Amino acid sequence: MIAGRGNRLRRTGRFHPASISRMGALVLSAVLVMPPPASAYLKFGVPVNGRQVTLKWPQTPVRYFVSARSSVSGVGVVDFEGAVGRAFARWEAVPTASIAYSYGGLTLARPGDDDGSSTLGFENRPELDRVLASTSFFIDDTNGTLIESDIFFNSTFQWSVSANGETGRFDLESIAVHEIGHFSGLGHSALGETESNQTGGRRVLGAEAVMFPIAFASGSTAGRGLKADDIAGISDIYPTGDFSDAGSLSGRVTRDGQGLFGAHITAFDPATGTIVGGFTLTTRGEFSIGGLSPGPKVVRVEPLDDADIDSFFDSSTVDVDFRVLLFDRLIVVPRGGDSGGVELPVVRK
């Protein structure tokens, strides 16, 4: 979900709340469901028979449709088809991921309709004054696989499909790239820095993942391109053989010897300049960042303070009372293997 008001936009971690279960399917409508610890970034997980299963499409290509009603000021249906087509193509082009999509054409259905078809389109939702777009899911609760996923873009806002963006209008392609990440099973990334503004919102100063929960300001097209964090995430869910070289970095974040939940860890590769992030996902402070290029990594830990915590987790359990840590060891990620557990001790603010 992407939320905003004027130039103060944020994407929340909440999913579309209005979906209804059908025929043994489970509708994912909560805050992020935590995946098992062995994951990077955030993948969606669903409980199946008492265990967490990574949410994903069981087979590809994933067929999607565009609502024939998808027309707003400045964006015709054909423009809409083109913009979301380019957004799907960006995810499909990741060489280390096998996800693929196919366009099924126009439909009279609306996003959110429980019809077995994944539909994208505009919806007028003025009450969601910070929501730019939202993705909902229908899930087979027997195995945790996706049955249907719909994306609506809030026509309350002004949209653009201009190649270079338009002042005062949100770039449809950028927002579609983010929502298609959700559509494919990815949660939010915390790789970004923001500042608070006078109205209580946040302004993005910089982000290094299209899955960062807060959108760039209107007029920006900088959110169209996938980053290393997005590529690692989608490749982790739908790996190809080329992904077998990727390794992982795992360990614990502790304060006074106790594990911290919800700490944000980044792994920076000084050889490539890429950054991939992850979170501690247990009360023992355990984390595992997958999809990393082999080699030494610079590790940084920071509290989750650049977006609403409920964009990621249940805020009552996330501990943000610690200082940013630049770890004093380079952690080597082996080719196709794991770094081995490393303890990252942080101190209170």
Shorter beta-carbon distance to other proteins: residue 172 or 207:
207
* Residues 221-250, interacting with other proteins (CB under 8 A): 221-222, 227
| Binding residue for other proteins, selected from 216, 238, 287, 322, defined by CB under 8 A | 216
Reading phi first (left if > 0) and then psi (alpha if -120 to 50, else beta), residue 134 is in beta
Round to whole Å and give the CA distance between 259 and 271.
30
Q: Give Cβ neighbours of residue 157 (< 8 Å, ≥ 6 apart).
A: 4, 132, 170, 218
* Residues 300-339, interacting with other proteins (CB under 8 A): 300, 302, 323-335, 337, 339
Which tokens in the block code for residue 209?
């993942």
* 3 touches other proteins by CB under 8 A: no
Q: Rounded to the nearest whole angstrom, what is the least distance from the CB of residue 289 to other proteins in the complex?
A: 15
Shorter beta-carbon distance to other proteins: residue 39 or 174:
174
Shorter beta-carbon distance to other proteins: residue 106 or 210:
210
Amino acid in position 124 = N
Q: Which residue has the tokens 């999809």?
A: 291
Stretch that binds other proteins, among 73-81, 123-131, 283-291, 299-307 (CB under 8 A): 299-307
| Binding residue for other proteins, selected from 78, 124, 271, 321, defined by CB under 8 A | 271
Q: Hey, is 310 helix, strand or coil?
A: helix
Q: Are 185 and 237 in contact (CB under 8 A)?
A: yes
Which tokens in the block code for residue 128?
């969601």
Round to whole Å and give the CA distance between 340 and 349.
28
* 87 touches other proteins by CB under 8 A: no
- Site pattern 174..213 for other proteins (x: CB under 8 A): -----------------xxx----------xxxxx-----
* 217 touches other proteins by CB under 8 A: yes
Q: Rounded to the nearest whole angstrom, what is the least distance from the CB of residue 167 to other proteins in the complex?
A: 12
Give DSSP secondary structure letters for 161-206. Answer: --TT--TTSEEHHHHHHHHHHHHTTB-----EEEEE-TTS-EEEEE
Q: Rounded to the nearest whole angstrom, what is the least distance from the CB of residue 318 to other proteins in the complex?
A: 17
Shorter beta-carbon distance to other proteins: residue 131 or 325:
325
Closest CA to 74 of 218, 172, 216, 150: 172
Shorter beta-carbon distance to other proteins: residue 111 or 303:
303
Q: Rounded to the nearest whole angstrom, what is the least distance from the CB of residue 208 to other proteins in the complex?
A: 5
